[in-house]
């Protein structure tokens, strides 16, 4: 049954606090993407998140906190070096997977004996978490399978009629979801790359990157259940072309019999916008500015749909630093259609 969805401002947080205390879901901004939050200690409230998103029940949620002391009730004994990661990267886009305590309902962990925890670096998220003073389970506030929302209007587009309130905090900063680091294996393992990079983590602790991050490996038992679902995909077909000759290859493909009659678009870096005559070209940002590119990516993939593109070609990037997160999302959005030129 449809309910009215209100968009509220950050000075009206009390409304959201009351709803969360009553076991309702609320969408709120973080520094990565918008989250769909509910009281992590209330099974019924968390079940609503899965219903609203159409999310498979075995895909666990990240628990959001505003204060490191909240970690203690959510976990059992963990490697003490994790404290250094919290010290260095929190608040920030790093979710830590730790052995969970019995306080965390199984619905949150998707049946696993671990829980992912993070402290978001966003004034509105932190204020909300502090006011409600509960750990808040929150996946990205999109319909399952769609690109994560980086603006309140994206959340409204996907979840209108399904949730009572969206807190509008403007466009999010990072634009890609947090780095997910499994701290229950040695070496620690990046299950999803994000704003806190492999290069930065390596300075604190030995880490490795899960093979599924950079390659299309078919894994029966992925370490992170989220890995097995196609993600971040617009309706348009996405084709990524990497390498120095990307513009030539994209033009060739776009004008080939397979695609020439379709509505075609390109996501290109600013320097290359002029290289695609006759196509709809969307600006990812300057080539060297990985953070700008990450922050625009989901918005542009959603724009490809609102324009009604049938196929969208995307210039690919190198896998270093934030490039690892960008390429990981493009790999998923394209169903691994990556061409090396």
DSSP 168-212: ---S-SS-SPPEEEE-SSSSEEEEE--SS-HHHHHTTS-EEE-HH
Q: How many residues bind Mg ion (CB under 5 A)?
A: 2
Binding mask 92-131 for Mg ion (x = CB under 5 A): ----------------------------------------
Q: Kindly tell me which residue out of 140, 172, 290, 334 binds Mg ion, with binding defined by CB under 5 A.
A: 140
> How far apart are the C-alpha atoms of 81 and 178, rounded to whole Å?
20
CB 91, CB 120: distance < 8 Å: yes
Nearer to ligand TXA by C-beta: 135 or 247? 135
> How far apart are the C-alpha atoms of 218 and 104, rounded to whole Å?
30
Nearer to ligand TXA by C-beta: 231 or 264? 231
Q: How many residues bind ligand TXA (CB under 6 A)?
A: 28
Determine how β-strand 35-39 pairs with β-strand 136-137: antiparallel
> How far apart are the C-alpha atoms of 207 and 203, rounded to whole Å?
9
Q: Kindly tell me which residue out of 8, 16, 19, 33 binds ligand TXA, with binding defined by CB under 6 A.
A: 33
Taking CB positions, which residue lies at the least distance from ligand TXA? 226
Nearer to ligand TXA by C-beta: 124 or 246? 124
CB 267, CB 314: distance < 8 Å: yes
138 near ligand TXA, rule: CB under 6 A: yes
172 near Mg ion, rule: CB under 5 A: no
35 near ligand TXA, rule: CB under 6 A: yes
Binding mask 90-119 for ligand TXA (x = CB under 6 A): ---x-x-x-----------x--x-xxx---
- Out of Mg ion, ligand TXA, none, which partner does residue 224 contact, by CB within 5 to 8 A per kind? ligand TXA
**208: its two tokens:** 């490795």
CB 153, CB 172: distance < 8 Å: no
Nearer to Mg ion by C-beta: 139 or 285? 139
**Cα angle at 329 between 327 and 331, to 5 degrees?**
65
Nearer to ligand TXA by C-beta: 33 or 293? 33
Angle between helices 152-159 and 290-307 (to 10 degrees): 40
Nearer to ligand TXA by C-beta: 192 or 331? 192
**124: its two tokens:** 């509105």
Nearest to 28 by CA among 47, 44, 49: 49
Q: Kindly tell me which residue out of 197, 224, 290, 295 binds ligand TXA, with binding defined by CB under 6 A.
A: 224
328 near ligand TXA, rule: CB under 6 A: no
Task: Match 């929302």 to its residue by tokens.
Answer: 149
| Chain residues in the site for ligand TXA (CB under 6 A) | 30, 32-33, 35, 59-62, 93, 95, 97, 109, 112, 114-116, 120, 138-140, 177-178, 180, 191-192, 224-226
């Amino acid at each position: 049954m449809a309910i009215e969805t209100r968009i509220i401002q950050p000075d009206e947080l009390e409304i959201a606090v009351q709803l969360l205390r009553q076991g309702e879901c609320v969408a709120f901004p973080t520094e990565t993407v918008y989250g769909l939050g509910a009281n992590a200690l209330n099974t019924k409230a968390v079940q609503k998140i899965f219903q609203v998103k159409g999310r498979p029940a075995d895909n666990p949620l990240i628990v959001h906190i505003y204060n490191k002391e909240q970690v203690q009730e959510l976990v059992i004994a963990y490697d003490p070096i994790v404290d250094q990661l919290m010290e260095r990267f929190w608040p920030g886009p790093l979710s830590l997977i730790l052995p969970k305590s019995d306080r965390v309902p199984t619905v949150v962990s998707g049946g696993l004996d671990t829980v992912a925890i993070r402290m978001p670096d966003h004034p509105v998220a932190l204020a909300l978490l502090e006011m409600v003073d509960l750990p808040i389970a929150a996946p990205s506030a999109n319909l399952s399978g769609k690109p994560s929302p980086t603006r309140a209007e994206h959340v409204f587009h996907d979840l209108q009629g399904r949730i009572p309130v969206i807190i509008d905090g403007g466009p999010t900063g990072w634009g890609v979801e947090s780095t997910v680091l499994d701290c229950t294996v040695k070496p620690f393992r990046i299950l999803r790359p994000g704003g806190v990079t492999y290069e930065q983590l390596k300075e604190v602790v030995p880490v490795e990157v899960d093979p599924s991050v950079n390659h299309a490996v078919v894994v029966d038992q992925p370490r992170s259940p989220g890995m097995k679902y196609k993600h971040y995909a617009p309706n348009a077909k996405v084709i990524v072309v990497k390498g120095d000759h990307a513009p030539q290859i994209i033009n060739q493909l776009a004008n080939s019999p397979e695609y020439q009659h379709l509505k075609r678009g390109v996501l290109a870096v600013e320097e290359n916008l002029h290289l695609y005559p006759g196509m709809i070209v969307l600006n990812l940002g300057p080539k060297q500015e990985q953070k700008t590119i990450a922050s625009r990516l989901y918005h542009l993939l959603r724009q490809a749909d609102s324009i009604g593109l049938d196929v969208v070609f995307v210039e690919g990037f190198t896998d270093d630093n934030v490039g690892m997160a960008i390429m990981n999302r493009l790999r998923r959005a394209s169903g691994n259609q990556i061409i090396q030129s």
